[in-house]
Structure 1
Amino acid sequence: MVLFNAVATLADFLAGEGSRLKKRAAIAEAIAAAEAEDPGGEGSGLFAQYLAGLPFAEADPRKLNAGGALLTKAMLKATGATDAALTAAYRRHGDLGAAAFELMQGVSRAASLSLGEVCAAFGAMATARTTAARAATLDGLLDRGTPAEVKYLVKLMLGDMRIGVKQSLVEEAIAVAAGAEVGAVRHAVMLEADLADATRRAFDGTLGEARMRLFHPLGFMLASPVETPEEAVERFTAKPEKVAKPKKGKKAADEAELDEGVEAAPVSAEARPVEAFLEDKYDGMRAQIHCGDLAEPGRVAIYSRNREDITESFPELEEAFAAVLPDVDGPMILDGEILAWDYKDSRALPFAVLGTRIGRKRVSNEVRTQVPAVFMAFDLLYAKGELQLEHPLRVRRNRLETIVEQMVDRVVSPFAVDEREKGRQQVMFLGEKDAGVARLMLSPSRLVESAEDIDRAYADARARANEGVMLKAADSAYLPGRRGLAWVKLKRELATLDVVITGAEYGHGRRATLLSDYTFAVRGPGGELLNVGKAYSGVTDAEILELTESLKAHTLEDRGHFRTVEPLIVLEVAFNNIMRSGRHASGFALRFPRILRLRTDKPVEEIDTLERVEEVYLSQVDRPVES
């Protein structure tokens, strides 16, 4: 029987160890010990899964439903602390698990909680029908834990272990412990999205028997930003060359870093022609669509970039892709962008429009009609029983075009559905125009030749109210979770704004004791300060320390986590765009604001005005159409 205390003890060691190699060796030793203690059982797999911060396998749709409120109540009961004491402990650590550990220092218990018992408790919490039943299971779990175990149980339930260990490092350690190839371990995890099962396979020698499962999100390949077309050309005329590629076998797993390859230094732009596909960069929601499963015909799942299942927020896409035929089209995974679509003008609507639909549990006919959703496909990850990730983009693109051409006329759904039916919504036909509109589109793509070509394409994309352009190396494989040089995005920022800090709140984690999140304002027509956003990125640790001291000294109202402060500190901020918003008194909100610098040279009297904000807003070609 493998105890959860072994996970907690190792986690504490890893949190204080800086060497990646030493971390991997310690994890491998612990996983091997768990396997020896429970040969052929679930111990080593659960050990690896929990250490990676996963209460359930990624392919497991169950959720603990243990939010901060439920955990806080359970911790107060387990520790006997007051609300004030827990708040103070959290403020010191920025971590509920560490706060629980501090408050339980007087508790002495023998470690007896097994990994199997934790697994059973998590399962019971996920299936509990009431909050009271869930709370009772949680209380029973924490009541048995030692201070160290409670610390990491809470961290695990919150999905944030904070021990400096990524899942990729755990995968490497599994390979070392089992004498397997790390590539085979990672491949099995990618196919089945089950780290515990991959651990079992590694020890059994059955990694090669792993088979792809639909309905769990693969990692999304990401793009790196570039500032100019010339920089993009330079990226694509540099020939990337992988170095330090891991060798096969246990010895290699013991000795090599087994990390991602390192890109070779760029060569001159004249050395190679540009070989990249160019597409518009849409201002939508990145998503994967899984459909056409042979075992579950008609089932559709849509996953966001942060791997959340968002299917219920876009029922018209679920209805449309349910028409994918397993025996004809085959099971598939498409990568693309969900867009709010203007069918009249055949163009994407701004993200501000789509944003009104995100997170909805129920989508009415009114919402479906006013904010129609489409899926703009731009990559093919899985088709007809074969992963496409290792194929060059030009091959994946050709296959995607063929598949879309075959399916596009069938992947349709109406604007309205019969809301009188309970359970699954039924299609309502009110006439020919309601019989269904296309919900699958193919992102236009072409090979690009020069910086001038990219510059023209960028201007054209902005004229279509899109964010910019994407450039993707024609020979690039799809690398889940990677942000490298193979894909780049060209987006030019709008003019920056000079604003003043009007409020500040404490951060999280290592910034829990620092005022690191800043609310800022511009000047209104009567000289009043009107908030337009909040930012926390772009300042250095040293600047945050300095700002914290200054903001504390000039606090007008201390509300605990948030402080209203005197408007003394001017910032220059950049942002993606500006949206109309009722959240702020200004009527506007900056989207994705970033602090560029502290403007110690500028007095508060010279910050930008609401008039300037509106001027920038009106200059946006992708702003929503206003009546």
Structure 2
Amino acid sequence: MTSFREFAETCQAIEKISSTIETTNKVSELLRKVDAEELPLATHFIMSEVFPAWSGEQLGIGTSLLYAALSRASGMSIKSIEALIRTTGDIGDAALLVLKEKRKNQATFSSFMEEEPELSITEVYQRFKTASEATGKGSQDVKIKNLQFLFNSSSPREAKYISRLALEELRIGVGEGVVRDAIAKAFSVPADVVEHAFMVTNDLGIVAEAAKKGGLEALETLGIEINRPIKMMLSQISPDIDSDIRDMKEAAVEWKFDGARVQIHKDGNSVTLFSRKLENVTNSLPDLVEIVRKHVKAESAILDGEAVAVDEKGKPRAFQEILKRFRRKYDVEEKAAGIPIQLNLFDIMYLNGKTLIDLPLLERRKALESCVESSVEDSKSISVDEQVITGDLELVEKIYREALKAGHEGIMVKNPGSVYSPGKRGKNWLKKKPLMETLDLAVVGAEWGFGRRANLIGSYTVACYDPETSRFLQIGKVGTGLTDEQLRELTGMLTGLMEGESGGVFAVRPEVVLEVAFEEIQKSPNYASGFALRFPRFIRVRNDKAPEEADSIQRIERVYAQQLKRL
């Protein structure tokens, strides 16, 4: 087994590096050292994950539990630890200082031993897993004891990264792109093959293990599996849809529904549903499960679609109504009757044992239509989204107006020859909406309100995402467009994510995504992104999006460049 010390040393070295190439080299060195059986664990650890994102497993460790464990391990009071964190601004640095002080002032039995026992990567993982599985009465104590064991068994440097891992926030800027390239370098396999293996598995841990054990041949055998969700292909707003259609010559045009994305896995009579964030939402949507069982005539399939909440006349309800269904844990049947769902399918990635993502859109479309059966009456509950192939701009405009009249968001314009690219956003899927320009941004900071709103968070610092460094870059503050009810909801959501409060202002762990409208993007030295939003306004909470799905700095740059062209 590989010692956790090796992992901690790699993290420490990366923190001092600014070059992506050097970071990739360091990660590559680590992957080569780690035993094959531990490679999936180390791969996820270096990306600030304990469990694969698709697995649905949650650590369930908050800052209060972490502080309590650190207090027990060090003998320092929780209040003193909190004060130290406010000073350092980081739980990892605080843990390092706390345990350094303990080692300095306390003679332990281990100091008389020739060599202290080393934690392995596997042991750290197993302690985290035991903590994550603790439920019910006494579960908090179980979590604290397992964290305390890790702190007591680790060096101060190891404790720094254990505490950050417990919150799944290493802060070393290693994302999927770096790990993909590190796997390619470590095991001498092409980066594009690693990328494709990742696309079909959605798990770089699996990819790294396969590359180490069997190289190129092993990677090429990896494929999609039922009940292991893959990332969903993404779209982007087109600043000039007519120009984009001319470039395509012909486009596949579909309505864009104002619903919640859902990935459906069918295996015989078993149906599993995953949200856009790849959370398992099957138990919340029993009516959708029955719809799929009844109308999808395939032994096994993975489908992509949009679940839309509808009223008694079949008209779409507000986006927030469908989210109420996705989040429901109790009185599910009652809620299903009150908020019925219509399922609109528009793509298929897997059918009866065959992976389809490398086929052109039009061929996938034929496969989708072949396995979905529904009559005109059934279309109230399930349908394959109507698609028109055309280069006629007037017809595209007509379809767009029809979609808006029916109460939907607008249209999707797709390249008919495009493959399905999990997790990728590009010009193969474009959307046109009538709204002023909006961005999906992660909340990374906030401050308390004033007057009658003094007990509510009144302003939110938002950030775009840099996939190259896995960092969130601030781009502005949002404080308008929110009702008191929305402020209360957001305050509740962010309370457990606060870090380092000072003068009513505090940092927030990036877990909540907001859709923000704005008038213009401007250059600004005041924010890490280099940009600022002019007249930002809150639109809605995007509970269906993970923070890493926030709009990227690259998209900000494109929108800014497009603005300049209009001047």
Please give the range of the TM-score, normalised by the shorter of the 2 chains: 0.7 to 0.9
Q: 1:572 to 1:471 in 2, by over 3 A?
A: farther
Aligned-residue offset at 1:455: 3.2
Per-residue CA deviations over 1:92-122 (Å, capped at 9, x if unaligned) read 4554334323433324485711012112223
Normalising by the residue count of structure 2, what TM-score does the alignment of the two structures yield? 0.73
Name whichever of 376-385 and 349-358 sits farther off.
Answer: 349-358
Aligned-residue offset at 1:593: 3.3
Task: Tell me what 1:279 maps to.
Answer: 254
Q: 1:373 to 1:81 in 2, by over 3 A?
A: farther
Task: Tell me what 2:284 maps to.
Answer: 313
- Is residue 2:99 matched to residue 1:174? no
Task: Tell me what 2:560 maps to.
Answer: none
- Is residue 2:285 matched to residue 1:290? no
Verify the 8 A CA contact 1:538 1:597 in the aligned structure 2. no
Task: Tell me what 2:234 maps to.
Answer: 222
Verify the 8 A CA contact 1:538 1:595 in the aligned structure 2. no
- Is residue 2:234 matched to residue 1:234? no
- Matches for 1:296-335 after TM superposition, within 5 Å: 297-323=268-294, 329-335=298-304
Structure 2 counterpart SS, 1:374: strand
CA distance in 1, matches of 2:349, 2:341: 22
Structure 2 counterpart SS, 1:145: coil
Aligned residues: 475
Question: Which of residues 119, 122, 128 in structure 2 aligns to 1:122?
Answer: 128
Question: Which of residues 81, 86, 96 in structure 2 aligns to 1:101?
Answer: 96
Per-residue CA deviations over 1:510-567 (Å, capped at 9, x if unaligned) read x6xxxx568699xx9xxx99x99754338998996xx9xxxxxxxxxxxxxxxxxxxx
- Is residue 2:320 matched to residue 1:395? no
Task: Tell me what 1:382 maps to.
Answer: 350
Task: Tell me the C-alpha RMSD between the 2 structures.
Answer: 4.0
Task: Tell me what 2:171 maps to.
Answer: 162
Structure 1 counterpart SS, 2:100: coil
Aligned-residue offset at 1:380: 0.9
Q: 1:442 to 1:4 in 2, by over 3 A?
A: same
Task: Tell me what 2:543 maps to.
Answer: none
CA distance in 1, matches of 2:118, 2:276: 39
Verify the 8 A CA contact 2:447 2:458 in the aligned structure 1. no
Verify the 8 A CA contact 2:41 2:50 in the aligned structure 1. no
CA distance in 1, matches of 2:33, 2:102: 28
Question: Which of residues 391, 408, 426 in structure 2 aligns to 1:484?
Answer: 426
Amino acid aligned to 1:166: G
Task: Tell me what 1:42 maps to.
Answer: 37
CA distance in 2, matches of 1:194, 1:537: 28
Amino acid aligned to 2:58: K
Identity %: 26
Task: Tell me what 2:20 maps to.
Answer: 20
Amino acid aligned to 2:385: S
Aligned-residue offset at 1:329: 0.9
CA distance in 2, matches of 1:519, 1:324: 51
CA distance in 2, matches of 1:148, 1:81: 18
Q: 1:222 to 1:196 in 2, by over 3 A?
A: closer
Aligned-residue offset at 1:409: 6.6
Per-residue CA deviations over 1:290-346 (Å, capped at 9, x if unaligned) read 11x2xxx33222112222112222121123334578xx613111111111123x433
Amino acid aligned to 2:461: Y
Aligned-residue offset at 1:166: 0.9
Task: Tell me what 2:402 maps to.
Answer: 460
Task: Tell me what 1:341 maps to.
Answer: 310
Give the 4+ runs in structure 1 shifted more than 6 A.
409-412, 518-521, 538-544
Structure 1 alignment gaps of length 5 or more: 239-271, 413-436, 497-505, 548-570, 600-612, 618-627
Aligned-residue offset at 1:165: 1.0
Task: Tell me what 1:200 maps to.
Answer: 209
Structure 2 counterpart SS, 1:536: strand
Q: 1:490 to 1:476 in 2, by over 3 A?
A: same
Amino acid aligned to 2:308: L
CA distance in 2, matches of 1:63, 1:14: 26
Structure 1 counterpart SS, 2:174: coil
Task: Tell me what 1:142 maps to.
Answer: 151
CA distance in 1, matches of 2:74, 2:376: 58
CA distance in 2, matches of 1:138, 1:450: 62
Amino acid aligned to 1:456: K
Normalising by the residue count of structure 1, what TM-score does the alignment of the two structures yield? 0.67
Task: Tell me what 2:49 maps to.
Answer: 54
CA distance in 2, matches of 1:490, 1:449: 16
> Relative to total residues, which structure has the larger helix share, 1 or 2?
2
Verify the 8 A CA contact 1:572 1:595 in the aligned structure 2. no
Q: 1:392 to 1:98 in 2, by over 3 A?
A: farther
Task: Tell me what 1:561 maps to.
Answer: none
Q: 1:541 to 1:473 in 2, by over 3 A?
A: closer
Verify the 8 A CA contact 1:313 1:363 in the aligned structure 2. no
Task: Tell me what 1:255 maps to.
Answer: none
Per-residue CA deviations over 1:152-202 (Å, capped at 9, x if unaligned) read 222223222221111232122122212223333334444444433332221
Verify the 8 A CA contact 2:254 2:388 in the aligned structure 1. yes
Amino acid aligned to 1:33: K
Question: Which of residues 388, 408, 412 in structure 2 aligns to 1:470?
Answer: 412
CA distance in 2, matches of 1:106, 1:377: 59
Aligned-residue offset at 1:2: 0.9
Verify the 8 A CA contact 1:59 1:192 in the aligned structure 2. no
Q: 1:472 to 1:150 in 2, by over 3 A?
A: same
CA distance in 2, matches of 1:140, 1:51: 21
Aligned-residue offset at 1:7: 1.2
Verify the 8 A CA contact 1:285 1:338 in the aligned structure 2. yes
Task: Tell me what 1:428 maps to.
Answer: none
CA distance in 1, matches of 2:46, 2:474: 32
Amino acid aligned to 1:27: V
Per-residue CA deviations over 1:426-454 (Å, capped at 9, x if unaligned) read xxxxxxxxxxx964322222124344433
Q: 1:584 to 1:111 in 2, by over 3 A?
A: same
Structure 2 counterpart SS, 1:317: helix
- Matches for 1:204-603 after TM superposition, within 5 Å: 204-205=213-214, 206-227=218-239, 231-238=240-247, 273=249, 275-291=250-266, 293=267, 297-323=268-294, 329-342=298-311, 344-405=312-373, 408=374, 439-493=381-435, 508=444, 516=446, 535-537=460-462, 582-583=485-486, 592-594=515-517, 596=519
CA distance in 1, matches of 2:448, 2:245: 38
CA distance in 1, matches of 2:89, 2:304: 36
Amino acid aligned to 1:390: D
Structure 1 counterpart SS, 2:48: coil
Verify the 8 A CA contact 2:459 2:479 in the aligned structure 1. no
Verify the 8 A CA contact 1:324 1:411 in the aligned structure 2. no
CA distance in 1, matches of 2:520, 2:97: 37
Aligned-residue offset at 1:476: 1.4
Question: Which of residues 45, 49, 63 in structure 2 aligns to 1:68?
Answer: 63
